């Protein structure tokens, strides 16, 4: 991962491969926000004129590059769009993050980059430093584990220097440390999700979770297929029964010295989802290596909670299985006994995520948490309802709304969704306690939420985050979001943990 540091030297004196500046769109054309003065001086006061001639508008997502032609030590300037000039003069922090990320992606082949984005004004320097650092680090991400070395590959920047008024400001230094910890967590989640399923069976995902947890001092427990059978994890075993690579369940425990409360995290870890006997269409099935994005997110989040020393106890329960077709696969019409004893009629083997999550939710509730957050690439209905960038959040009203607000604050779009009572009847089964899907397709995301709610213990505040769309970007990169794994909803989960630690 790239590095970030601070300097209070003038931008036009820095010997770097490129300098990033922010530009905005005003009512009458391009606007140069605060922080661009030194660069403008280095170009003889003609920065705005040069950018306008190149077609720069300041629109969000736009990056315009120009050569300095010896006007300063840096050979290139990258003007990244902040969008419209805000009426109150305060640029939204995610606008700054997105601009920093877009610039980082545009500077492939440049190793060292300086940025004046933390000087755009309107907010505290520490806030802006944190946003620029996070956006730059997230934007500079690339996954190269399976690429052969090539002289033609142009690596993304490896070092960012942020220009500020004081490089010794403790709040800004802390902001960089926190942004780095967050970016490391997102990077871990992205790397796990991007790894091909053939190289990441449940046992390997469990091993990587164990290694990541122990690196930051977590207590780690791994249950193999024998331990799962002995304890009665019927959902995990049923889903994973069709694969020669057996399931796992991992528990990661972070306990600070004086925790304010206890939070349970649960994430769906389907390392590959063929749909089972209710098999998926062949088109885009390769993307189902990302069906463990919920697991990757909670593994990364609990590790980051420890690295950041958040004042809340966090226990992550992560079920892992591969949903494949074989002579040992579970079948439509089978009845599984979930952990805790509830019996479920399986009507669709491609609704497997809720089966493994239900096991994990019951186990997580045995720890008597005050809050339980679960996340999964759970339903195609989420993408139909909210698109590919906005997560659906369901659960206890207060926590649901807090989670959705936290997601929007950090730039991981989220929307609170209801659990209409009439939809619950669709899960009634004539042969078991409930069915794993309803008889029709209406409200599929909400029906899945109802299913999970059946396994949450009384008195536990619960929220479910469906990231079927947001966790894996199948389109072009944008802002600080690459193609492929995005790392969502790691930053949302961390924001909620911070909120709980501060406000209970």
Both tokens of 500, joined, read 């709980």
pLDDT on residue 441: 87
Q: Which CATH number is 3-147+158-163 given?
A: 3.40.220.10
CB neighbour class for 252 (10 Å; exposed up to 12, middle 13-18, buried from 19): buried
Closest by CA to 491, choosing from 428, 427, 407, is 407
Q: What are the residue ranges spanned by the domains of the chain?
A: 3-147+158-163, 183-503
- Total residues belonging to the chain: 504
Give the active site residue among 354, 424, 491, 498.
Answer: 354
Locate tokens 């075993």: which residue?
Answer: 237
Q: Cis omega before residue 489 (within 30°)?
A: yes
Q: How many beta carbons lie within 10 A of that of residue 418, not counting itself?
A: 12
- What is the C-alpha to C-alpha distance for residues 504 and 262, in angstroms, rounded to an integer? 10
Q: How far is CA 42 from CA 11, 116, 162, 171, in A?
A: 9, 14, 18, 30
Of 314, 203, 186, 338, the closest CA to residue 251 belongs to 314
What is the C-alpha separation between 74 and 12, in angstroms, rounded? 7
- Cα–Cα nearest to 489, from 473, 466, 455: 466
pLDDT of 152: 82
C-beta of residue 333 within 8 angstroms of C-beta of residue 344: no
- Of 420, 467, 469, nearest in space to 442 by CA: 420
Q: Which pLDDT score, from 0 to 100, does residue 122 have? A: 83
Residue 374 is inside which H or E element, if any? strand 371-376
Which is it for strands 313-323 and 269-273: parallel, antiparallel or unpaired?
parallel
- Which string of DSSP letters, residue by residue, matches 68-122? -TTSSSSSEEEEEEEEEPPTTS---HHHHHHHHHHHHHHTTT--EEEE-GGGS-S
CA distances (Å), origin 220, targets 209, 299, 320: 9, 11, 15
Q: How far apart (Å, rounded) are the C-alpha atoms in residues 25 and 86?
A: 9
CATH number of 183-503: 3.40.630.10
* Chain centroid to CA 66: 33
Q: Which of 255, 260, 262, 280 is catalytic?
A: 280
Residue-level pLDDT, tens digit, the chain, 504 residues: 999 999 999 999 999 999 999 999 999 899 999 999 999 999 999 999 999 999 999 999 999 999 999 999 999 999 999 999 999 989 999 999 999 999 999 999 999 999 999 999 889 999 999 999 999 999 999 999 999 988 788 999 999 999 999 999 999 999 999 999 999 999 999 999 999 999 999 999 999 999 999 999 999 999 999 999 999 999 999 999 999 999 999 999 999 999 999 999 999 999 999 999 999 999 999 999 999 999 999 999 999 999 999 999 999 999 999 999 999 999 999 999 999 999 999 999 999 999 999 999 999 999 999 999 999 999 999 999 999 999 999 999 999 999 999 999 999 999 999 999 999 999 999 999 999 999 898 999 999 999 999 999 999 999 999 999 999 999 999 999 999 999 999 999 999 999 999 999
Q: Is 280 a catalytic residue?
A: yes
Q: What is the DSSP string of 431-468?
A: SSSEESS-SS-TTHHHHHHHHHHTTSPTT-EEEEEE-T
Collapsed DSSP state (helix, strand, coil) of residue 25: strand
Q: Are 105 and 66 in contact (CB under 8 A)?
A: no
Q: Does residue 230 have an active-site annotation?
A: no
């Amino acid at each position: 991962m790239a590095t970030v540091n601070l300097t209070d030297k003038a931008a036009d004196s820095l010997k770097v491969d490129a300098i990033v500046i922010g530009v905005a769109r005003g009512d009458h054309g391009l606007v140069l926000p605060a922080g661009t003065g030194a660069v403008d001086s280095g170009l003889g006061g003609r920065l705005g004129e040069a950018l306008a001639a190149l077609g720069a508008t300041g629109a969000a997502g736009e990056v315009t590059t120009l050569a300095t032609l010896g006007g300063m030590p840096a050979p290139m300037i990258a003007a990244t769009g902040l969008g419209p000039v805000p009426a109150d003069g305060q640029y939204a922090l995610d606008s700054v993050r997105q601009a920093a990320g877009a610039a980082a992606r545009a500077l492939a082949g440049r190793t060292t980059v300086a940025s004046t984005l933390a000087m755009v004004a309107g907010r505290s320097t520490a806030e802006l430093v944190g946003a620029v650092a996070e956006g730059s680090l997230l934007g500079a991400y690339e996954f190269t584990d399976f690429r052969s070395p090539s002289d033609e590959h142009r690596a993304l920047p490896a070092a960012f220097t942020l220009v500020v008024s004081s490089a010794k400001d403790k709040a800004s230094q802390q902001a960089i440390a926190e942004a780095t910890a967050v970016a490391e967590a997102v990077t871990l989640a992205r790397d796990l999700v991007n790894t091909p399923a053939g190289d990441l069976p449940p046992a390997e995902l469990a091993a990587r979770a164990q290694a990541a947890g122990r690196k930051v001092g977590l207590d780690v427990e791994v249950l193999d297929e024998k331990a799962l059978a002995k304890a009665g994890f019927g959902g995990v075993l049923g889903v994973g029964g069709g694969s020669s690579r057996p399931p796992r369940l991992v528990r990661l425990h972070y306990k600070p010295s004086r925790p304010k409360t206890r939070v349970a995290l649960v994430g769906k870890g389907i390392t590959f989802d063929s749909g089972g006997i209710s098999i998926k269409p062949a088109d885009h099935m390769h993307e189902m290596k990302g069906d463990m994005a919920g697991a990757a997110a909670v593994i990364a989040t609990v590790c980051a909670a420890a690295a950041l020393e958040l004042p809340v106890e966090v226990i992550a329960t992560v079920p892992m299985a591969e949903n494949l077709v074989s002579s040992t696969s579970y079948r439509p019409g089978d009845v599984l006994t979930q952990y805790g004893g509830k019996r479920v009629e399986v009507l669709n083997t491609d609704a497997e995520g809720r089966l493994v999550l239900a096991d994990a939710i019951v186990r997580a509730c045995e720890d008597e948490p005050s809050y339980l957050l679960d996340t999964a690439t759970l339903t195609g209905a989420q993408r139909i309802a909210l698109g590919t960038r906005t997560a659906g959040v369901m659960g206890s009203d207060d926590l649901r709304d807090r989670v959705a607000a936290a997601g929007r604050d950090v730039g991981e779009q989220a929307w609170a969704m209801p659990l209409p009572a009439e939809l619950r009847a669709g899960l009634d089964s004539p042969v078991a306690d409930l069915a794993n899907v309803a008889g029709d397709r209406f409200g599929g995301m909400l029906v899945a939420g109802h299913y999970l709610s059946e396994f949450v213990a009384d008195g536990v505040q619960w929220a479910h985050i469906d990231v079927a769309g947001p966790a894996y970007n199948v389109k072009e990169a944008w802002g600080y979001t690459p193609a492929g794994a995005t790392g969502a909803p790691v930053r949302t989960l961390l924001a909620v943990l911070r909120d709980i630690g501060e406000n209970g």
